[in-house]
Amino acid sequence: MPSVPTTVLCHLPDGYLRLGELEGLFPGVKFVRVPTSGPVPPGVSGEVLVTVAGPSDNLVDLLGRGVRWVHCTGHGVDHLPLGAFGDRLVTCSRGVSAEAIAEWVMAMILAWAKRLPGTWVDEPPEEWFLTRLDRLAEATVALVGLGSINLAVAERLVPFRCRILAVRRTPGSSPLPEVEVVASPAAAVAEADHLVLAAPLTPTTYHLVDDDLLDAAKPGIHLVNVARGALVDQEALRRALDEGRVGRASLDVADPEPLPEGHWLYEHPRVLFSPHVSWAGPGYLRRVADMFAENLERWLAGRPLEGLVDLEAGY
């Protein structure tokens, strides 16, 4: 461990990263709590900054306090001022919530295939024994993005014997042999019964799902978005939903967030909307803290960090 103690600036809500435990694990490291907004006290400096994924009015000030490595406790980094990081190392908590989000995606896909909650009844129905339900076996699921989240989705789809297509930015085959990589989103949606968005928000992916892509989609496609609301042109989605070209949109994200009262996404009969909670589950904050602790060990030992962000690519 370095002779001069490493200082970690903790730009976090109270209790967020189990700092008491970290202080016990790293007695040679100085953890300094800094305000999440407003003026930074004079004299505050440190080599490491750990911060949340949201925007902040004092983050750029903190970067100038000797910071050489920034760790973001979230997965996505599109809310951070990436252009201000210069040559600093930036890492994120990539993969920490992948399993929980993948389970949410599976719940939405199964709910649409089995027409839930529409097939529940609270009085005698007009007809017993007959209805139209789909199945996942032999259904086609298109994945936009093939990072930790959609890989976890694909692993859960394989036992259902789905056909799985994927679009990814980087060339090459899929890490899973059951996943077929296709050339473009348009090629994927043409045959897809379900479309799952788990790609980062960058200038390239902004409004990726627009009128053109929805026109190219298989009629009645089910859209699932667990990434960022701005991946979808919401007015284009509204038109497609109204016309029945999209059968259902299961959305955990929207643009903007929080979504204002009275927004059409709250009320549309073909939309299931939740307030950005697909990541939630037991032990989440523990896993976030464990990932940072692992990277802090690597930093102190001079080893490569995990979860590095490509500042040029934006994720």
Coil, strand or helix at 55: coil
Output the pLDDT for position 3: 56
**276 labelled catalytic:** yes
Tens-level pLDDT at each residue, the chain (315 residues): 445 689 999 999 888 888 889 999 999 999 999 999 999 999 999 999 999 988 899 999 999 999 999 999 999 999 999 999 999 999 999 999 999 999 999 999 999 999 999 999 999 999 999 999 999 999 999 999 999 999 999 999 999 999 999 999 887 889 999 999 999 999 999 999 999 999 999 999 999 999 999 999 999 999 999 999 999 999 999 999 999 999 999 999 999 999 999 999 999 999 999 999 999 999 999 999 999 999 999 999 999 999 999 999 999
Q: List all residues 6 or more positions away from 3 whose beta carbon is below 8 Å from its beta carbon.
A: none
140 and 248: one domain?
yes
180 forms bridges with which residues in the sheet?
165
Q: Which of 11, 94, 228, 248 is catalytic?
A: 228
Give the span between the Cα atoms of 292 and 297, in whole angstroms. 9
192 and 52: one domain?
no
- The answer to whether position 233 is within a domain reads yes
Give the span between the Cα atoms of 129 and 100, in whole angstroms. 34
- The answer to whether position 311 is within a domain reads no
**228 labelled catalytic:** yes
Output the pLDDT for position 54: 80
249 and 165: one domain?
yes
Q: Which of 79, 276, 287, 298 is catalytic?
A: 276
295 and 235: one domain?
no
Complete DSSP assignment for 147-199: SHHHHHHHHHHGGGT-EEEEE-SS-S--SSTTEEE-S-HHHHHTS-SEEEE--
- 202 with 313: CB under 8 angstroms? yes
14 and 132: one domain?
no
31 and 167: one domain?
no
- The answer to whether position 238 is within a domain reads yes
Coil, strand or helix at 248: strand
Output the pLDDT for position 4: 66
Output the pLDDT for position 2: 45
- 189 with 217: CB under 8 angstroms? yes
Q: Which amino acid is at 206?
A: Y
- The answer to whether position 176 is within a domain reads yes
Domain span holding position 291: 7-96+282-301
CATH assignment at residue 267? 3.40.50.720
116 and 265: one domain?
yes
Domains of the chain: total: 2
Coil, strand or helix at 313: coil
170 and 113: one domain?
yes
Q: Which of 21, 138, 235, 257 is catalytic?
A: 257
Give the span between the Cα atoms of 32 and 23, in whole angstroms. 10
252 and 116: one domain?
yes
Reading the block at residue 178, the tokens are 């059951």
